[in-house]
Amino acid sequence: AKIILRTFHVGNLTISRLCQSTVITAVNGKLPGPTIDVHEGDTLLVHVINESPYDLTIHWHGIFQKLSAWADGPNMITQCPIQSGGSYVYRFNVMGQEGTLWWHAHVSYLRATVHGPLIIRPREAYPFPKPDKEVTIILGEWWKDNVVDVDTQALLTGGVPNISDAFTINGKPGDQYECSKDMYRLTVYSGKTYLLRIINAALDHQLFFKVAGHSFTVVAIDATYTNPYTTDVIVTAPGQTVDALMIADASPSLYYMSARAYASSKGAYNNSTATAILQYNYNTSLSSSSQPLKPKASMPAATDTDTAHRFYTGPTSLVRPGNPTTVPLEVSTRMFVAFGLGLATCQPQQLLCNQTRGALAASMNNVSFQFPTSISLLEAHYRGANGVYTTDFPNKPAVLYDFTSNKIGMAPFTEKATKVKRLRYNETVELVLQNTAILGTESHPIHLHGFNFFVLAQDFGNYEESKARAMYNLVDPQVRNTVAVPAGGWAVIRFVANNPGVWIMHCHLDMHLPMGLATVFEVEDGPTSDAILPPPPSDFPIC
Ligand code: C2O
C-alpha cells in the first residue's frame, strides 16, 4: 500500500459552452476535475487549496472513511467549510473497497463543476476478464448561469431551481446543442474490450446512457462487484456509478454515445440530449468528406419508468470471498423513514410563501433537516457540545397515511430541526425508505455516507411488510451507497453501523439537500481502540 499525495487548487475557470463564456469554479483548471487513481489499501492525502471566491468542502462519495470521519466532507456535518483563501488536507485510507467512485464539492450547487472520478483498483485482479482499456465517462449537467446563484435564487423563491441548459459527457454537451461541435471522442479498436466507468455527476436528473450499436455487461455498481448483467442501456441516479464492459464489435464507423434524462416526475425537466462520439480506429485517416455514418442511439422516452426500474433492480452482487456480501440476518434497529417534499412554516426571507399553507420544504419523517451554523455536527459530537442537535429523530413518521396520494391535507407540516438518530457501534440497522407523493411523485436517490448498504427489496406503492419480506433478497442483494427509491414506492436497506462518527443520509438531487431531505446517524465509539474516532487533524477548518 502506498501513500498518495494530490493537490487540488480550486479556483475560477473561464470556459466556453453553449455560445457563451462562463466563469465556473473548477479544480486544477479542469472540467471534469482531475482523476484520482489509487489501489485498494492506499492512503490518500488531498491538499485542497481554496482559491475560489466561495467557502467549500470536498466529499469523497462512497468512501467508507473508516475512523476518518473528519475527512468525509459534507458541509457543517463533518466540518466547517474551507474558507475562501484557506486550505485543508483530507487524509484517509481506501480500505476494503474497489471500483468507481467520485469526489465532489458538498456545499450549495458547486458540485456542478467541482467534481471528478475517484478510481480504486484492486491490489490483485478484477473478478472479470481484464479489459484492454479503461475509460471514465462522467455525466454532468450545465447551466449558463452561475450555479451558486441558481441555488440561492431557488431557495429564496421556494425551492424550484431553473432547469439546466445542457447535459454533458466528460464536460462537453455535444452536437445537439448550439456552439457545441467540440465533443468528447473515444477511439476504439475492433475486437478490444473497454471498461467504461460511468458516473452520474448531474445535480437534479437521473440519466439514461447508451452507445449506438453496442451493448454492455455491467460488472459493478457503486464500487461493488455484480454478477455480469447484460443490457444496452445504463440508468443512473445522481451519485451512482456503473462499471460496464463494452466490446468494440460493431462494424468500424462512428457511433453516438448519448445521455438524456429519465424524468420520474411529472414536473419540468431538461429534455435535451448530450452526445459524444465513439470512433473506430482506421488504417487510413478520416477525411471530413468521407465521414462514415453516425448512427444515433435510440434513447428510451424520458418517462420510461419500466426501463429505469428494470436496470435499477437488475444487477445482483457477486458473491465471492472477500466481497462483503453476507447479509446480517439479525436486525437491532428498525426504522420506517417516509420522505419527500411537503410544506413547512415560512422562513422570514422566503418570497413565495403562503402564510396559511406555508412554504415548500423537504423532509424525512416530517423533520426538515436544519444544518448547524457555528460548529459542525461531528465536532459537536466529538466534544460533547450541547445545544447543537438533539437525538430524537423519530423511528417512524408522525402519521401513517396513503403515501402514494397527493392529498396535501394528509401529511402534517414538517418541523425544521437538527435531529439525529443515535446508533450503537456495530449494530445492524434496517430502514424502510418510503417515498411520499404530497407535492408530486419522483424518484429520490437516497445516499448514505460512511457505509454501503444492502438493498433487500424495492417496489412501487405503499410499503407492506409481508409483501416486502417475501421479496427480500438475502443471498446476493445489490450493495450500494445510493439507491433510487422508486417514484411513489419504497426500498428496504440494511447496514452495519461499524464506523464511529456522524454520517448524513440525504437525497442526492442537489436541490433537496438544502431543503432538508436529510437526516444524520450518530454512531458511538466501539469498545476497542480500533473503534474509537480519533481527534480532528490540526488543520481542521473551524467556523
Ligand atoms: Cu455524493 Cu452527500 O454526497
| CA 343 / ligand 1 centre spacing (Å) | 24
Q: Are residues 134 and 281 in the same domain?
A: yes
Establish whether residue 419 lines the binding site of ligand 1, counting it when its CB lies within 6 angstroms of any ligand atom: no
Cα–Cα distance for residue pair 483/332, rounded to 1 Å: 22
| CA 36 / ligand 1 centre spacing (Å) | 17
Residue 322 belongs to some domain of the structure: no
Establish whether residue 494 lines the binding site of ligand 1, counting it when its CB lies within 6 angstroms of any ligand atom: no
How much is the ipTM here?
0.99
Q: Are residues 229 and 373 in the same domain?
A: no
Q: Are residues 425 and 350 in the same domain?
A: yes
Establish whether residue 447 lines the binding site of ligand 1, counting it when its CB lies within 6 angstroms of any ligand atom: yes
Q: Are residues 189 and 221 in the same domain?
A: yes
Residue 393: the pLDDT is: 98
Domain holding 102: CATH number?
Answer: 2.60.40.420
Cα–Cα distance for residue pair 494/446, rounded to 1 Å: 13
The end-to-end CA distance of the chain, in Å, is 35
Q: Are residues 277 and 344 in the same domain?
A: no
If one counts the domains in the chain, the total is 3
Establish whether residue 59 lines the binding site of ligand 1, counting it when its CB lies within 6 angstroms of any ligand atom: yes
Residue 124 CB partners (closer than 8 Å, separation 6+)? none
Pick the atom of ligand 1 nearest to 74's CA.
2
Cα–Cα distance for residue pair 33/113, rounded to 1 Å: 8
Establish whether residue 239 lines the binding site of ligand 1, counting it when its CB lies within 6 angstroms of any ligand atom: yes
| CA 482 / ligand 1 centre spacing (Å) | 9
Residue 71 CB partners (closer than 8 Å, separation 6+)? 60, 65, 78, 90, 91, 92
Q: Are residues 218 and 245 in the same domain?
A: yes
Pick the atom of ligand 1 nearest to 449's CA.
2
Establish whether residue 445 lines the binding site of ligand 1, counting it when its CB lies within 6 angstroms of any ligand atom: no
Q: Are residues 210 and 259 in the same domain?
A: yes
Q: Are residues 90 and 206 in the same domain?
A: no
Nearest CA to ligand 1 atom 1: 61
Establish whether residue 506 lines the binding site of ligand 1, counting it when its CB lies within 6 angstroms of any ligand atom: yes
Q: Are residues 500 and 393 in the same domain?
A: yes
Residue 32 belongs to some domain of the structure: yes
Establish whether residue 104 lines the binding site of ligand 1, counting it when its CB lies within 6 angstroms of any ligand atom: yes
Q: Are residues 306 and 361 in the same domain?
A: no
Kindly tell me the burial class for residue 165, based on how many C-beta atoms sit within 10 Å of its own C-beta (0-12, 13-18, 19 or more): middle
Q: Pick from 20, 110, 33: which is nearest to 74 by CA?
A: 110
Q: Pick from 263, 244, 252, 154: which is nearest to 202 by CA?
A: 263
Q: 124, 143, 173: which is the final residue of a domain?
A: 124
Q: 124, 158, 177: which is the final residue of a domain?
A: 124
Pick the atom of ligand 1 nearest to 482's CA.
1
Establish whether residue 260 lines the binding site of ligand 1, counting it when its CB lies within 6 angstroms of any ligand atom: no
Residue 542 belongs to some domain of the structure: no
Q: 124, 144, 169: which is the final residue of a domain?
A: 124
Residue 540 belongs to some domain of the structure: no
Q: Which pLDDT tens digit goes with each residue over 363-422?
A: 999 999 999 999 999 999 999 999 999 999 999 998 888 888 877 667 777 889 999 999
Residue 108: the pLDDT is: 87
Residue 541 belongs to some domain of the structure: no
Nearest CA to ligand 1 atom 3: 61
Residue 327 belongs to some domain of the structure: no
Cα–Cα distance for residue pair 111/180, rounded to 1 Å: 22
Q: Pick from 543, 542, 523: which is nearest to 533 by CA?
A: 523
Residue 487 belongs to some domain of the structure: yes
Calculate the CA dihedral of residues 43, 49, 52, 54 and round it to 10 degrees. 70
Residue 288: the pLDDT is: 47
At residue 219, what is the residue type?
Answer: V
Establish whether residue 512 lines the binding site of ligand 1, counting it when its CB lies within 6 angstroms of any ligand atom: no
| CA 62 / ligand 1 centre spacing (Å) | 8
Q: Which domain holds residue 40?
A: 1-124
Residue 262 belongs to some domain of the structure: yes
C-alpha cell of 340? Answer: 419527500
| CA 296 / ligand 1 centre spacing (Å) | 33
User: Which residues of the chain register pLDDT less than 70?
Assistant: 282-294, 322-325, 347-358, 408-409
| CA 196 / ligand 1 centre spacing (Å) | 22
C-alpha cell of 213? Answer: 450499436
Q: Are residues 415 and 309 in the same domain?
A: no
φ/ψ of 409, rounded to 5, equals: -60, -20
Q: Are residues 285 and 354 in the same domain?
A: no
| CA 294 / ligand 1 centre spacing (Å) | 36
